[in-house]
Structure 1
Amino acid sequence: MNDAAMSERRHARLARMPSVERVMSMHAVQTLTDVYGRTQVVAAVRAALEALRGELRAIADGQDDDADALAATGDEARIVAHAAHFLEQRSRGYLRTVFNLTGTVLHTNLGRALLPDEAVRTVIDALTHPVNLEFDLTTGARGDRDDLIEALICELTGAEAATVVNNNAAAVLLMVSALASRKEVVVSRGELVEIGGAFRIPDIMARAGARLREVGTTNRTHAKDYEEAIGPRTALLMKVHCSNYAISGFTKSVDIDELAQIAHRHALPVAFDLGSGTLTDLAQWGLPAEPTVRGTIDAGADLVTFSGDKLLGGPQAGLIVGREALIRKIRKHPLKRALRVGKLTLAALEPVLQLYRAPEFLAQRLTTLRLLTRPAAEMHAAALRVQPALQRALGERYAVTVEPMFSQIGSGALPVDQLPGYGLAVRVAAAKRGGRALMQVEKVLRELPRPVIGRIADDALRLDLRCLEAEDETAFIAQCAELRL
């Protein structure tokens, strides 16, 4: 057969492909239209037809029977299936629910703190009904959105006033902009931290229009260093909690109470960026101690900034608490409106703060604290229940074992402290090292309908079960049957 004849035959096959309107008239496609709408379904059918044409063009010369079969109108069911798959994938949101089996409870890349049920219900109400976001129900006049949570925050922290912005980086930026623009802020060199997302204290100072005055050295800063740095341009002394790293050995830093005395002798305010601020003493639950917001205020800090979605256990937010006169000045700064939070953040934050009024129930009701204090024996029992299902799914090529593991709090909180627990370790059964094979398993787990996120370390894929609670455990076991290696 010459080239012209072959070209004519290919054209004839393509011409026998069903039209878009013919496929759209099929009952199965009409059912898709009821769900996705005609506009999307037409686009999906066109994509399916183009994919089928591409397959036809790719069939080698001489395989006429295969090409004729593929072009036959009886393959319309295949087109419909392709279109349905296209629509399903397109409608699936990019933001997905995952299983966090990384061993990091407050995982920045996985959304940090999980909200307790009380907060979830309040957010749903705020999503589906009008709320008094900036409306004073007592006077009938316009209100301030900070009013919704200020009294509660002050009750829990001992501060005179409070304001809320969208995260702690914004809180620091706003505070410095409002109080120290074109002036100096004194900070220890050992506290010039960088956290995730390239948030650096020196950069924040520069963006806020303040001049950073570094004192001391990386490992040692003394009270006299602050004293000697204070001058006519000084607007603020600032301490930063080094929550995402630790320096050990020959070290010295100035505590907040001593720093407050220095600042107040010079009629200056002192601010403390707590980062992963907590409202309660974690040591009572056997966790490493962290400075509390109330303790910092009691020690003399005029302003304290901290996150809402870390140790506090609430939504993403940055809180600034402290002296009323300073908070008033911060509220009046133009950046406050740009950085303010919306109704959903406030709806989630208030019920989380309410939980702290009943500290005896906090370890059960606050999701973050419940996960951090979860008994190792409970995780061990869960691992024993989950292991058989995962072993069956992976087959004999892999060995799935129940092993002790150490979790981390995460999000820059207590970086050197680890929490003992249990999880599952996946290894290649007949090899000392199985890097590629383990990466393939890790990839397949990520591609499940509800992705499973673990970590590869020490020649094993480790699935820490600290964050796999009872309701998720059942879903995880059921999903194991969908694994395809």
Structure 2
Amino acid sequence: MCRNMQKDILRSIPSVNELLESPEISKLTGIYPRQLVVDAIRAVLEDIRQSLTNEKGMSRFDSNQKSLPCEGGVKKIVEAQAIDLSPQKLYHRVQQSLQQKFCGIEHAINATGIILHTGLGRTPLTDEAANQIQNILKSFCTLEIEKLTGRRGIRYHHIEQLVSMITGAESALVVNNNAAAVLLALDTLARGKEVIISRSQLVEIGGSFRMPDVMSKGGAILVEVGTTNKTYLDDYRNAITEHTGLILKVHQSNFKIVGFTETVVLKDLVSLGKERNIPVMYDLGSGALIDLEKFGLPHEPTVQESIKAGVDIVTFSTDKLMGGPQGGIIAGKKKWVDLLKKNPLTRALRVGKLTIAALEATLKLYLEEDLAIKKIPALTMIFAPLEAIEERCKRLISNVTPETKAFMSISTVDGLSEMGGGSLPGEGIPTKLISLYSEKIPAEELAARLRGNTPPIFARIEQGRVLLDMRTVYDDEVDTIVAALEKIFSQGKVN
């Protein structure tokens, strides 16, 4: 870039006060503290100045600008840069800078098709759970008190009753997530003792937390048996010593091993445990309380199956397939659960009243399976018929104005949704998607603008198209997506 051109463009950069007093950016001072808006403007302008001092500067703040020779094209470039540096254009950059600093939790539209999207908070709660939280949010509640006697009670009592009724477990305990449940069980039952586990089950869960590390933190001594693809009952039997404290089975909920494989079923491990007087624990992970196979989906082991097999302890998440708030449940034989309740770690890992309220409301729905399927968002999304999803797509397309359609190609295409959340790995659920393509706005930029909407809309990009999976979009969010597209493709916003 020639020196004179750099100077001309630098002179076209507006001042902080000029931007601050502009109708567009001045609105931000009503949302954020004035000084923070000033700081954000300064940061954006400094970034532009820095970008202009290097060879790639032109493209850094305007992805549509092509590099042109200095001779003969200076005037056009300066005019283009002047438009790009207007308050209308810089508003989005200043807003983005502020949003990054004040990036709190807000409502979002999940059009990714990932039902249990960890980044988007996994599944929404039921209306019943939300109402129960609201009921106790601004008042006192019977968290740890007996209503009839007025005596101090146990906060887990109602959860324990519900879990026992639904699963057949003798006892139960709730902690803040499944990793905590596993940690508490290992610390209680196997600290300083050997824990036998198949090599194929040394999984890594979200956030790079690995089962061997959790076992080590729980004070257990890891004893691996079998191979990556094959483990037999004799492998467990031959590994038992006088120092063995626990036999552990971990459900491979977030990956698959296929082909030449062999694994030991839970019932056989339970028999071995009884034979050698060693407790058997099953880390189930996803926490399914409904047999998905009945509805045409691949089999996912349920908590009820584990309890029926006679396992001593089973741990599972409450915010995955169960569809409740974040938490982890430990269920099983009373003699073992009682030991966990007495562990001081239980106090550190316990959940608060809001979690308990939401979890109770969610579990009550499972007393009637049909009611759970109808009311729990994760289940309604999983079992949503293609016809309903396609109807959602048609409504979205029909509501987009002809003026907006002139700037983009919009259509319905077939696709696959994902379970997510470490459940049913590799299994896709047939779905219908909205495909968006525009020659005016690249797919990456269009997806970014959708995320910049209020509320943010999260989609996916494939082969240069933005795809909106309508399986995970609520009916009342369709109009919000339409409004966002109208805003993005309105006159003056498309270059």
TM-score greater than 0.5 by the shorter chain: yes
Distance 1:206 1:41, change over 3 A: closer
Query: What is residue 72 of structure 1 aligned with on the other side?
Result: none
Q: CA deviation at 1:395?
A: 5.3
Instruction: For structure 1, list consecutive stretches of 5 or more residues without a partner in the other structure.
Output: 1-13, 18-22, 24-28, 55-80, 431-435
Is the Cα contact below 8 Å between 1:174 and 1:335 reproduced in 2?
Answer: yes
CA distance in structure 2 between the partners assigned to 1:85 and 1:253 by the alignment: 54
Q: CA deviation at 1:198?
A: 0.9
SS of structure 1 residue aligned to 2:115: coil
SS of structure 2 residue aligned to 1:105: strand
CA distance in structure 1 between the partners assigned to 2:460 and 2:403 by the alignment: 19
Matched, 1:348 2:354: no
Query: What is residue 280 of structure 2 aligned with on the other side?
Result: 270
Matched, 1:130 2:165: no
Query: What is residue 219 of structure 2 aligned with on the other side?
Result: 209
Q: Which amino acid aligns with 2:304?
A: R
Query: What is residue 247 of structure 1 aligned with on the other side?
Result: 257
Is the Cα contact below 8 Å between 1:165 and 1:171 reproduced in 2?
Answer: yes
Q: Which amino acid aligns with 2:220?
A: A
Q: Which amino acid aligns with 1:329?
A: L
CA distance in structure 2 between the partners assigned to 1:215 and 1:123 by the alignment: 45
Q: How many residues align?
A: 428
Distance 1:322 1:90, change over 3 A: closer
Match of 1:198 among 190, 200, 208: 208
Q: Which amino acid aligns with 1:340?
A: R
Query: What is residue 439 of structure 1 aligned with on the other side?
Result: 444
CA distance in structure 2 between the partners assigned to 1:392 and 1:342 by the alignment: 51
Q: CA deviation at 1:307?
A: 0.3
Matched, 1:311 2:321: yes
Match of 2:290 among 280, 287, 300: 280
CA distance in structure 2 between the partners assigned to 1:126 and 1:196 by the alignment: 32
Is the Cα contact below 8 Å between 1:174 and 1:208 reproduced in 2?
Answer: yes
**Aligned-residue RMSD, C-alpha:** 3.3
Distance 1:147 1:44, change over 3 A: same
CA distance in structure 1 between the partners assigned to 2:286 and 2:239 by the alignment: 28
Is the Cα contact below 8 Å between 1:391 and 1:400 reproduced in 2?
Answer: no
Q: Which amino acid aligns with 2:191?
A: S
Match of 2:348 among 318, 338, 341: 338
Is the Cα contact below 8 Å between 1:119 and 1:352 reproduced in 2?
Answer: yes
Q: Which moved more, 1:242-251 or 1:277-286?
A: 277-286
Match of 1:374 among 349, 362, 384: 384
Query: What is residue 478 of structure 1 aligned with on the other side?
Result: 483
Deviation sequence 1:342-389 (CA, Å, 0-9, x none):
111001000100001111222211111101011111111111221255
Query: What is residue 291 of structure 1 aligned with on the other side?
Result: 301
CA distance in structure 1 between the partners assigned to 2:195 and 2:41 by the alignment: 65
Distance 1:399 1:135, change over 3 A: same
Is the Cα contact below 8 Å between 1:276 and 1:307 reproduced in 2?
Answer: yes
Q: CA deviation at 1:475?
A: 2.4
Query: What is residue 219 of structure 1 aligned with on the other side?
Result: 229
SS of structure 1 residue aligned to 2:453: coil
Query: What is residue 418 of structure 2 aligned with on the other side?
Result: 408
Q: Which moved more, 1:192-201 or 1:475-484?
A: 475-484
TM-score, L = length of structure 1: 0.81
Distance 1:49 1:165, change over 3 A: closer
Is the Cα contact below 8 Å between 1:281 and 1:292 reproduced in 2?
Answer: yes
Q: How does 1:30-179 map to 2 (within 5 A)?
A: 43=35, 94-179=104-189
Match of 2:331 among 300, 321, 326: 321
CA distance in structure 1 between the partners assigned to 2:408 and 2:327 by the alignment: 43
Is the Cα contact below 8 Å between 1:389 and 1:480 reproduced in 2?
Answer: no
CA distance in structure 1 between the partners assigned to 2:41 and 2:298 by the alignment: 61
Distance 1:255 1:389, change over 3 A: same
Query: What is residue 449 of structure 1 aligned with on the other side?
Result: 454
Q: Which amino acid aligns with 1:229?
A: A
Q: CA deviation at 1:93?
A: 5.8
Distance 1:437 1:293, change over 3 A: same
Distance 1:393 1:255, change over 3 A: farther
Query: What is residue 373 of structure 2 aligned with on the other side?
Result: 363
Deviation sequence 1:309-355 (CA, Å, 0-9, x none):
00001010000001111111111111111111111100100010000
Match of 1:427 among 437, 445, 448: 437
Distance 1:392 1:410, change over 3 A: farther
Query: What is residue 8 of structure 2 aligned with on the other side?
Result: none
CA distance in structure 2 between the partners assigned to 1:85 and 1:422 by the alignment: 33
Which entry has the higher C-alpha Rg, 1 or 2? 1
Deviation sequence 1:253-308 (CA, Å, 0-9, x none):
00000010011100011000000011121222332221111111111111000000
TM-score, L = length of structure 2: 0.79
Determine what percentage of the aligned residue pairs are the same residue: 39
SS of structure 1 residue aligned to 2:330: strand
CA distance in structure 1 between the partners assigned to 2:403 and 2:169 by the alignment: 54
Distance 1:391 1:338, change over 3 A: farther
Distance 1:46 1:161, change over 3 A: same
Distance 1:90 1:257, change over 3 A: closer
CA distance in structure 2 between the partners assigned to 1:422 and 1:353 by the alignment: 31
SS of structure 1 residue aligned to 2:414: strand
Deviation sequence 1:419-463 (CA, Å, 0-9, x none):
111011223459xxxxx9111111111111111111112332211
Query: What is residue 383 of structure 1 aligned with on the other side?
Result: 393
Instruction: For structure 2, list consecutive stretches of 5 or more residues without a partner in the other structure.
Output: 1-14, 47-90
Is the Cα contact below 8 Å between 2:401 and 2:486 reproduced in 1?
Answer: no
CA distance in structure 2 between the partners assigned to 1:441 and 1:365 by the alignment: 34
Deviation sequence 1:173-229 (CA, Å, 0-9, x none):
111011100111000001111121112110101111110100000000000000000
